[in-house]
Structure 1
Amino acid sequence: MSALETIAVATSFLAIWLTARRNMLCWPLNLVACALYFKLFLDVRLYADMVLQAVFGIGILYGWIAWSRNRHGPGAVEAAVGAAVEVMPLSLARALAGLVVGACGALAIGWFTSRHTDATLPWMDATLSSFSLVAQYWTARRHRENWLLWIAVDIAYVGMFLFKGLLLTAGLYAAMIGLAVIGYRDWRRTRRPGSPGDHATTKD
């Protein structure tokens, strides 16, 4: 347990909590957390997760912009969280497409890291990294189902980090499972655009 891991855990926890609350401050904090975990994963040779943090940085910028454009839609619960954004539905076709992309990414990343690097747990690392990107994209698109995918991914991450001796990070991901449950519950309570009671529509 290092000072770097401690700071990364605290920053990540706050960022995920703010994401669950649909608060715009989650994005800058997530950027800081990505930078911290990039260095941490480099130190412990989890290369897929290290690269994932860099890709997350791009995704975070995308999500920041996407949320900024949808802060005042008809589905926002602004009285509760101030800068909340509307939640958008995820079709079955798009959900399946996302999972297929995640599986293909896992195979590609796992093949590369297992053959060309000294990564530990290359296939598990690759699988979790790939599906984390899918979950991150769903978060940016404001689909409540992102939390269900995060729950599955975080459960597996807890086991991997325990194996790697990153006990504090394992604890963070265990707590993130609880935050994901809260996030899904809260996002599920919001109205979808076009639902009964809405009198305007917005473009996604």
Structure 2
Amino acid sequence: MNPITELLDATLWIGGVPILWREIIGNVFGLFSAWAGMRRIVWAWPIGIIGNALLFTVFMGGLFHTPQNLDLYGQAGRQIMFIIVSGYGWYQWSAAKRRALTPENAVAVVPRWASTKERAGIVIAAVVGTLSFAWIFQALGSWGPWADAWIFVGSILATYGMARGWTEFWLIWIAVDIVGVPLLLTAGYYPSAVLYLVYGAFVSWGFVVWLRVQKADKARALEAQESVTV
């Protein structure tokens, strides 16, 4: 037996329902990547890329003959886009650490709110992207094209926002999770649906953490400014 085939076909049975191990493992890698992103650790990006590669084979169910045998082009396509955008994020955060005066103690990104212009760009990209990809996914025969399209576009915007250090990216993830959970439950991707619920709670926590970091950074900046003027 080919070891690659064995890996792809390894299945866990729960209550008579077949669940691929690579779906579970891919989501665990994604969760760990989110945790590392909250902590602003550069390794968040390569860890996420491994999970994305595994989940791509899961959501192209018709091609890889998964138990669901469904092709979710948005879910699969976003794994490819994650890999591309994660490469950008990996470079951005690594470069930021290299530019720091004390790289061993430096964080990879400083959280901030997006500017008005950047927020407008997010909204326009969300609307235009969802409309466009819903049409494309429907033409391709994707299962649940509208939900699939928003998950695809929202995931790209959230990942890009994380790379830029925009605190709003956590809110975009929450919006993705709200749509993703019912879609995945209906399609029979139970581990991914459960992990989406976990992600929902986790990204809410991450949003609070980044808000606290912003406030702490602002307070330190004000203290430094006051010490200079005194």
**TM-score per shorter chain, which class?**
0.7 to 0.9
Matched residues in 1 for 2:137 and 2:149: separation?
A: 8
Runs of 4+ in 1 over 2 A off after TM superposition: 69-74, 82-85, 192-195
Alignment of 1:21-60 (within 5 A): 21-43=39-61, 44-60=70-86
RMSD of aligned alpha carbons: 2.4
CA drift at 1:193:
10
> Residue 38 of structure 2 corresponds to which residue in structure 1?
20
TM-score by length of 2: 0.77
Say which SS state the counterpart of residue 86 (structure 1) adopts. coil
Matched residues in 1 for 2:38 and 2:191: separation?
A: 21
Say which SS state the counterpart of residue 97 (structure 2) adopts. coil
Corresponding letter in the other structure for 1:128: I
Gaps of 5+ in 1: 200-204
Gaps of 5+ in 2: 1-18, 62-69, 226-230
Which of structures 1 and 2 has the bigger CA Rg? 2
Matched residues in 1 for 2:52 and 2:218: separation?
A: 31
Matched residues in 1 for 2:161 and 2:83: separation?
A: 15
> Residue 103 of structure 1 corresponds to which residue in structure 2?
127
Q: Are 1:135 and 2:158 matched, yes or no?
A: yes
Say which SS state the counterpart of residue 71 (structure 1) adopts. helix
TM-score by length of 1: 0.86
Matched residues in 1 for 2:51 and 2:130: separation?
A: 23
Aligned pairs, number: 194
Contact 1:11 1:29 in 2 (8 A): yes
> Residue 111 of structure 2 corresponds to which residue in structure 1?
87
In proportion to residue count, which structure has more helix? 2
Contact 2:23 2:58 in 1 (8 A): yes
Contact 1:89 1:192 in 2 (8 A): no
